Amino acid sequence: MTERVYGVTPPISTALPTEAEKRMHQALHEELRAQGTFESRAETEARKKVIAQLEKITTAFVKKATAETQNSFMVREAIGRVFTYGSYRLGVYGPGSDIDTLVVAPKHVTTEQYFRLFPPLLVEMAPPGAITDLTPVPDAFVPIIKFEFSGISIDLIFCSIKGLTQIPEDKSWNLTDNTLLRGLSENEVRSLNGTRVTDEILNLVPEPATFKLALRAIKLWAQRKAIYANIMGFPGGVAWAMLVARVCQLYPKTTSAVVVNKFFHIMLKWPWPLPVLLKDIEYNISVTRAPVWNPKLYSSDRNHRMPIITPAYPAMCATHNINRSSKVVIMQELEKGVQVTEEIMTGRAPWKALFTKHTFFTSDFRYYLTVISSSRTKDAQNVWSGFIESRVRVLVNKIENHAAIVLARPFNKGYDRQHRCQNYEQLGDVVNSGSLAYLYKPTPEEEEKAKGEAKTEVKAELINANLKPESVLQDGPVVKPEPGTETAAPPPVTAADGAAIKPEPGAESAMPPPAPPPVADGVKKEEVTKNGDGVEQKDGNDGEVKLADIPEKKQELEVFTTNYYIGLQLGKTPASLDLSREVQEWMSMCRSSDLYKEGVNFLAVTHIKNTMLPDDVFEPGEVRPRPPKKKLKRQAPDDSSAQQPTKKSKPVGPALTPAAS
């Protein structure tokens, strides 16, 4: 009997593991448990119960939706199905992981019904108080409902199968049949392909258990090195999974420890942009209009720097977001991984040496750009910051092409902060220059209250990963600008020394006018006179007190910010670095979005040195950068009265300067 060959090439080695390799495998497993990547059995059982309850709610939803348009027989036979994808379906989830979930319904159930009927039914059928943070996002490219079910975060997307009047009751029925894609739009195809890609990956690895443990290790490594974020131009979870799966195909009988070691060697030497494939790409299947990845046909596909191709039809590139800088960073980390795992495999280092934390803030860069997205309300900030996060990569693409920039690396997450200001001048300091002087830390009671309130956040990674046109990924979305924003310039950029750069005319941020003090009940603004006791009152109305006599309560101005940091590596340090054109173009693009609300949302970009980074980007035990000590020159005794000429001091680094007007 011929053994199955996995992948598009024969394996490199089919050797069985040695005793030493088995011991290394056990040591890796123990370290991953010590690192907290596994959840308890009780937590896993809780997830299964939640999914079982979602199955019942989904079928009830499909029946209710069917009753609106179909006869009683169709209602009686109608059912829906729930499929998972991502880390949960791959079996590599950990404590606190969300569950990516897909609702599948027959063709007569619409997306409009999904958003109208499913949320109230979810609250009604779930245990009392089990559903929190319920947030429908119908306008996303892949529409989604986000919520927490008994403390477990759920991302629920929807698709109706155009070729099915009824969903099969057979529990073994799955979504692998390509004909299920017939008649679906591209976003509907992407909805189904989350599950289809996950299932294909598991079907294309020789030993699923070996693959899962190795993937846990690589995911933890990538997260610790801050190179795990599709939205910021790094591989996401599915991309890392496909890379590990390819190594498993090349070493089908080895242990997880060897797979991890070989992963770094193979991916470091991989001849990019040669694509990583788990199976041959399927062409000439005319069941959907969604394009298949084909660099011979599409110029945008030829521009992919590190293409990792999904195995399910239609094949797509999971790493189209990777740019020049992020590829350099990934290759640097892979090279370090080779050195560390070689020491581990030879017994000179423990596995925990592989999972050390990144040094993005502590030592990697001297200069940073800070993107400050801010809003006057929490709900508005959830939406606005999610959109800005999806656009940070576009800014990186612009500035990394500057002649003085060697590398521009965004950090893989933003930092949320809450501020309370006493006046609009302070508010301007926060939204324009990122001042932390008015930070506010909510009390535990306020945090608990906020947790129970519904949010309106956008899952930016999902939206960004599923944007259709490749041109959108490079140049930003094509959106209709709001009236009056076509020529508006962005807020001021801060120079390296902290001095504000004067914006071009019209570039000032629009600030909302101060709200008038509230008028108490029974108080009127009409003309008043004084009575005999010296109390001002309106003639003929003894009980009415003048507005000025009421002590005015100070109103705090609340603002919410999310800061994103971009590390800059420069070539020969110039006297000044002019990035204002790139920054202004990018901010104008962001403000032209329909999501931007003038006076509610704000956007600024500032320049900061590593010694001035805020405290909350450093974790306990990390040593923050300090200014270099100035060297004192020894002066020789001066017997003459002649004054020695002094040298002019050079700037210690580049300063952002405005573009010439």
Supply the residues annotated as catalytic: 87, 98, 100, 155, 219, 228
Tokens of 528: 């008043």
Tokens of 423: 């006046």
Question: ∠ CA 384-385-386 to the nearest 5 degrees?
Answer: 90
485 in the Ramachandran plot: left (φ > 0), alpha (ψ -120 to 50) or beta? Answer: alpha
Q: In what order do the strands lie in the sheet with 81-85?
A: 81-85, 99-106, 152-161, 144-149, 131-137
Find how far residue 659's CA is from the centre of its chain. Answer: 31
Q: Is 255 helix (H, G, I), strand (E, B) or coil?
A: coil
What is the Cα–Cα distance from 281 to 292, expressed in whole angstroms?
Answer: 8
What is the Cα–Cα distance from 346 to 355, expressed in whole angstroms?
Answer: 17
Q: How far is CA 221 from CA 215, 241, 353, 357, in A?
A: 10, 13, 10, 9
In which element (H, E) is residue 450 found? Answer: helix 444-452
In which element (H, E) is residue 121 found? Answer: helix 111-125
Burial 641-658 (b: 16+ CB within 10 A, else e): eeeeeeeeeeeebbbbbb
Burial of 123 (0-12, 13-18, 19+ CB in 10 A): middle
Q: What ranges in 204-310 are assigned the alpha helix state H? A: 208-224, 237-250, 256-269, 299-302
